Structure formats: structure tokens, C-alpha cells
Amino acid sequence: MRGHRPSGAWSTVQDPSPQAETPGEPLGMTGYLAPEGYVDELMAELGDVAEVHDRLVFAPGPARPVSWVENVWYDPVRLPVASIKSAARELRGIQRNWALWPGLHNGRAKLIQDQLPHMSAKPLVFPSPAPTAPLGSWMMESATSLIAAARCSSPFRHGAVEFVENRTVPPTRAYLKLWEALTLAGSMPGPGSVAMDLGSCPGGWTWVLHELGARVISVDKAPLAPHIAALPRVDYRRQSAFALTPSEIGPVDWLCSDVICYPERLLRLVREWVDSGLCRNFICTIKFQGPTDHAATREFASIPGSRVVHLHHNKHELTWMLVSA
């Protein structure tokens, strides 16, 4: 299967390898930062929780496999805050890069953050790789203590993946979801790849795949934007994504789907392609037409080698990813 990994690419993992023990009092909990507006979905996945600070939820024990989360705080500890300088010194002694999560005593917290090394918050230029430097997260718990996690699941501040956007060519901003998914996967199509885009109208994902050098089979019953359909390596097929069979299409390097359908229908399509062996790389949006279907989410996550994530650019939807390239 043809594709390429950006130099220095980083792949998200559920729990990175343990590092040296961090000074401080272990909390015996894990922190989970919910996507904005989806704390209830996260709490439904977690079950029992210990504390909730706006979108930041703490649950007992080690990290659990959840999808409705933008950043996981691994092995958080409690540190004393005797003074602004001592707290900053404690954090600097653990590692260099820290992101402050707003909570209690924000004025005091900002004074501490101001004494930590400055981090650039420049948007990423796609297809540049994700940052590789460790990034910790912390918050003030009280006037005299803070909670800090030196290890987090996202290399982006609070899991917010921001890009330098293209505001002229893509017909909608949905292309940002594919940019983010490919960045987090650390792998993407390249010249010579064959990619299929299901539910492609009006063409944002097709444009992304084409710009990366792939030949794109773009499938939707609705038409593409004319300037996308006219791209030289786009094979637009005006039909239902569910009317195609793997044997009819043949081998493809990437199957991408942002099609609007119930999760069960997408799951049947995905399993058909996985079982066919004709594609190894998948990025598919799971869209919820009503209440969140946690059972369907678990079915997607059970497919070997795959994971289900909530991208920063997702709404009431999740993204299923199986990337082998």
C-alpha cells in the first residue's frame, strides 16, 4: 500500500510508555478533557468519576479506553504552592513545556504560567507533522496546591489542533477533519496512492486527498463543486456509497468516509471492506443522527488495530481510524 509518513510523524496512543516518577503526591486518578459540549458523553463512557472541573473530568485508576476526550492527563500529581516562584520551579524541574487549564485561582495560576518557558501557539501548516516535544497540563486546585500531569495524550495544547486554513479552495470547512485525522495518524496518502472518498459532496475531503498526490475515486449521489470535480486525478462517480462493493472497486490504499448515515450502516460497510482485504487504511466519520450510540462506538473500536477518537474539529460525531501504511 502506497503512502507516506511526514518526517517526525507522531501517532496517538492510549497510554504512552511510563517515564521517570514525577515528584508530588500521586492522585491515583486519570484526567480526561471532554470536547466542548460533550461532557455528558464522556461521563457516560467513564461511569464512575471523582471530580469534574468544567470539561476536565477525573476518574479513579489508570487511563480507560474512551472516545469522547480531547486530551488525557496520565498519572497526575498534587504539588504544593508555597509561592509563585516555588510552584514554577517545581514544574520546570519536571519538564519544560506546560499548558495551563483554567480553573480556580486563575490570577495566581497565570502568574505561575508566566514564569514557565513560553510555548509558541502557531497554527500547524498541513501536512507538517504534529509536535513531538512532551507537553504537560496543569491546573490550580486551591490557593496552596496544583494538579499537574507531565504526560498527556495530545501534543497540542488541551488537544486543540489548529491549522493555517485554506479559505479559498475547499468548498466547506469539513476538510479540517481529514487534515486533523491524517496528522494524528502520522501517515497519509502520497503520489501514486489510490484513495476513495465516500459521501464526498461538495468535495473538501476529495480536495485534501488530491492535494496529497492521490488518485481519488469520489463517490456521492450529490454533485461535487465544479472546481473539485475538474481536478485532474478525480474520478467522480455519482452514486450511493452503499451501492459499491469492494470487488467492483478493487484495491485502494485509503478509504475515507464522511457520509451521512446511521452508525450501524457505516459499520456494515466498513466490515465488508476490512474483510475483503482490499484496503488497509481507513478514516471514517461516525455520525449520530439522534442520541449518542455508545454500543455502536464500542463495535467500531473492537475492530482489531483500530481506534475511535473525537477530533477537535468533530461535532456530534466520532472518527474511526485504522491506519497501517
Question: Catalytic residues, which ones?
Answer: 287
Residue whose C-alpha cell is 476490512: 274
Listing DSSP states for 297-315 in one string gives: HHHHHTSTT-EEE--TT-S
Cell of 42: 464522556
* Pairing relationship of beta strands 71-74 and 29-33 according to DSSP bridges: antiparallel
Going across the sheet that includes 215-219, the strands are 234-237, 215-219, 194-198, 254-257, 281-287, 317-322, 307-309
Cell of 282: 481507513
Q: Can you tell me the distance from the alpha carbon of 180 to that of 311, in angstroms, rounded to the nearest whole number?
A: 7
Residue from 13, 12, 1 nearest 189 by CA: 1
**Coil vs helix vs strand at 28:** coil
If you ran DSSP here, which 8-state letter would residue 231 be given? S
Q: Can you tell me the distance from the alpha carbon of 142 to that of 103, in angstroms, rounded to the nearest whole number?
A: 9
Listing DSSP states for 165-186 in one string gives: ---SSSSSTTHHHHHHHHHHHT
Phi and psi at 237, nearest 5°, equal -125, 115
Beta bridge partners of 197: 218, 256
Cell of 197: 472518498
Phi and psi at 68, nearest 5°, equal -85, 65
**Coil vs helix vs strand at 13:** coil
